[in-house]
Amino acid sequence: MSSEAFQVAKVYRNLLKAVVKHIGKEDSKRHFREHVTNEFRKNLVLSDLKSVRQKIKLAQDYTYFLNSELLFSYNIAVDRSEEMKRTLGKSAASVGLQLPEVYEP
């Protein structure tokens, strides 16, 4: 495997991990994973090395933004309510408290 093919595989794997970790695995959010997979497959046969490097850089940047949660702070395409509930629950648990269940009719 060439070094560029190895780098592409590594970037792809890291991006998918970030999407699963920060966006989720639920079926309602499956389209995020499918989009990443489709983009990598679509660009798999690019012969223009400059274009490949630009797309790798873009994928690395997006992975960085996901992992640093910058996208969440700007509310880009993701419902943060579950993430906020999880964060608040962890914060409360760290000081020995438990959040009450919210009644939803």
15-36 pLDDT, tens per residue?
889 888 877 788 888 888 898 8
Name the more confident of 10 and 65: 10
Q: How far apart are CA 11 and CA 63, in angstroms?
A: 8
CB 63 within 8 A of CB 15: yes
Q: What are the tens digits of pLDDT across the range 77-101?
A: 556 677 778 888 888 889 998 878 7
| Residue-averaged pLDDT of the chain | 79
User: Which band of pLDDT confidence, cut at 50, 70 and 90, is reported for residue 58?
Assistant: confident
Q: How far apart are CA 84 and CA 102, in angstroms?
A: 14
Q: Please tell me whether the overall predicted TM-score, pTM, comes out greater than 0.85 for this model.
A: no
Tracing tokens 């880009």 back to the chain, one arrives at: 76
Name the more confident of 36 and 73: 36
Q: How far apart are CA 58 and CA 51, in angstroms?
A: 11
Q: How far apart are CA 68 and CA 57, in angstroms?
A: 16
Per-residue confidence (pLDDT) for residue 45, from 0 to 100: 64
Whether 48 shows a pLDDT value over 80: the answer reads no
